[in-house]
Amino acid sequence: MNQPITAKINNKGHFEIGGCDCVDIASEFGTPLYVLCEVSVRGKCREYRTAFKDRYPNSLVIYASKALCNISLLKIIQDEGLGVDVSSFGELYTAKKAGVDLANVYMHGNNKPKKELEDAIDLNVGAIVVDNFAELETIGEITSKSKKQVKILFRVNPGIEAHTHEFVQTGQTDSKFGIAKEDILKAVSFALKLEYVDFAGLHAHIGSQIFDIDPFLAEIDVLTLLAKEINNQLGFKVREINIGGGLGIDYSGSDNVPAIDSFAGKIISHFKEKCAEASIGEPKLILEPGRSIVGVAGITLYTVGSVKDIPGIRKYVSVDGGMSDNPRPILYGAKYEALIANKASMQKEEKVTIVGRFCESGDKLLIDYELQKAEKGDILAVLCTGAYNYSMASNYNRVTRPAMALANNGSVKLIIKRESYEDLVRCDVF
Ligand SMILES: *Cc1c(COP(=O)(O)O)cnc(C)c1O
């Protein structure tokens, strides 16, 4: 099982993270509840930062906040010296509220609404990663009106297939994201004519939950070669190369994920070699990990409601959350690991299917999973739910979204309140 770095079984036989007993956390804040281990988040930030800074000082790690975005978390990210990648003005707004240095915020999206672009430029966002010609034109219009300068990068479609789920592949030729590499020179020459647009460099993001380093190296080949062409044909020196995110995490405890340090080592030696070959100097290297910073740090606690045994067929364990707080199993067939927090020291002895409370038969969190003997009232902990769980949560069935707590050093505090029924009808007009 892959779990937060502070996870252990305490002397009551209960599962504990951040020095806090998960059974106590559940009774204090209720369930379903997301719990984040602060030491794990900070640890990953430091691992990334040192692995890159030590080898290549002109580098910047920015956290892809779509994985999990709230004010307390972004304060930690800022405190650890990372920048922030946002994919909407809402995420940018959260970063601003958290006091993030907006100079290190990069804004993404394949179809950013004009209003969000205007608002972002107005806030002096660090950079906009421009996805297509229409957007470049819009930015040209906005900035010539406001006379405000904005830094841009172009998102390149590098034509690379990362070996991951097709829903989270983003760098293949047939993708909605990015400008074909053949059209980049045209885009750059257009940008260089725009008075208030400061073209700084190139970006690509090839996908998510990637285990293999080779596609990243292929991506570096494409980006450095394009930088060379821009330099040779337009006489413009690219200042930044942003290779996106996508390093996977081990959800099942059996996957072979590269360690951050060895990932950094391979990326940087290849990057330096290719920059030298292309004679493009030493541009700033940016990367944007999301999942690999918060994924393992988070768990979700649920209360078991009913246990239903269909003899000879299956045993169902129903919990008080499900697809609205964790849509990844129903969306991608994502696999998780779990345990019963109040029985953490006991053997896993029966194969069960853990299902949620929502009105869909597909609302299954874990299928045919070996678990401690489950009974009504048990607290179930699902592991590795830090990324793309809260951020993808919905109010399906008009269920309130859970709270999130941050555990550290024996104390736990609320960082996101549980929604109330009143929140659910807040936008209803009648
Ligand atoms: C989603 C995304 C990331 C982060 O991906 P992870 O798999 O969470 O590391 C980085 N950059 C961009 C542009 C993204 O869309």
Q: What is the tens place of the pLDDT at every residue in 344-368?
A: 999 999 999 999 999 999 999 999 9
- Is 68:294 a contact under the CB 8 Å cutoff? yes
The minimum-distance atom of ligand 1 relative to the CA of 290 is: 8
Residue to probe by mutation, ligand 1, list 77, 108, 216, most atoms within 8 Å of CB: 108
Q: Are 59 and 285 in contact (CB under 8 A)?
A: yes
Write down the catalytic residue from 20, 37, 359, 427.
359
What residues are paired with 316 via a beta bridge? 308, 353
pLDDT tens-digit map of 115-154: 999 999 999 999 999 999 999 999 999 999 999 999 999 9
What CATH code would you report for 38-294?
3.20.20.10
> Tell me: the pLDDT tens digits for 81-112?
999 999 999 999 999 999 999 999 999 999 99
Q: Residues with beta carbon inside 6 Å of ligand 1?
A: 64, 66-67, 85, 87, 108, 205, 208, 244-247, 288-292
Say if residues 324 and 281 touch (Cβ distance below 8 Å): no
Cα(207) to centroid(ligand 1), Å: 7
CA of 246 to the centre of ligand 1 (A): 6
Taking the CA of residue 291 as reference, the ligand 1 atom at the shortest distance is: 8
Angle of CA points 53, 65, 393, to nearest 5°: 150
Q: Which residues pair with 363 in a beta bridge?
A: none
pLDDT of residue 23: 98
* Section 265-294 average pLDDT: 98
Output the pLDDT for position 56.
Answer: 98
pLDDT at 169: 74
How many Å apart are CA 228 and CA 334, to the nearest integer?
40
pLDDT tens digits along 57-82: 999 999 999 999 999 999 999 999 99
Query: Is 164's pLDDT higher than 90?
Result: no
Question: What's the token pair of residue 21?
Answer: 């007993």
Residue located nearest, by CA, to atom 3 of ligand 1:
245
- Count CB neighbours of 159 within 10 A: 19
Residue 376, helix vs strand vs coil = coil
Report the nearest atom of ligand 1 relative to the CA of 155. 13
Pairing of strands 364-371, 350-355: antiparallel
Query: Which whole number is the average pLDDT over 2-22?
Result: 98
CATH 3.20.20.10 range(s) for the chain read: 38-294
For residue 171, the model assigns a pLDDT of: 77
How sure is the predictor about 161, in pLDDT bands with cuts at 50, 70 and 90?
A: confident
The hierarchical CATH code for the domain 8-30+297-425 is 2.40.37.10
* Angstrom distance (rounded) from CA 295 to CA 386: 4
Give 84 Cα–ligand 1 centroid separation in angstroms.
11
Question: According to the annotation, is 288 in a ligand binding site?
Answer: yes
What span, in angstroms and rounded, lies between the C-alpha atoms of 338 and 269?
38
Residue 357's φ and ψ, nearest 5 degrees, are -100, 5
Contact 71, 50 (CB under 8 A): no
Counting Cα atoms < 13 Å in the Cβ hemisphere of 415 gives 24
Asked if residue 316 belongs to a known ligand binding site, the reply is no
Kindly give the distance from the C-alpha atom of residue 330 to the centroid of ligand 1, in angstroms, as a whole number: 21
Which two three-digit tokens encode residue 204? Answer: 């690509």
327 carries a ligand binding annotation: no
CATH 2.40.37.10 residue window(s) in the chain: 8-30+297-425
Helix segments in 295-380, DSSP class H? 328-332
Quote the pLDDT of residue 162.
76
For residue 295, pLDDT beyond 90: yes
Query: Mean pLDDT for the chain?
Result: 96
- Known catalytic residue: 359? yes
Distance of alpha carbon 267 from alpha carbon 241, whole angstroms: 12
328 annotated ligand binder: yes
Task: Give the separation between CA 368 and CA 362, rounded to whole angstroms.
Answer: 14
> With contact defined as beta carbons under 8 Å apart, do 258 and 246 qualify?
no
According to the model, what pLDDT value does residue 256 have?
Answer: 86
165: pLDDT strictly greater than 80: no
CA of 389 relative to ligand 1 center, distance in Å: 14
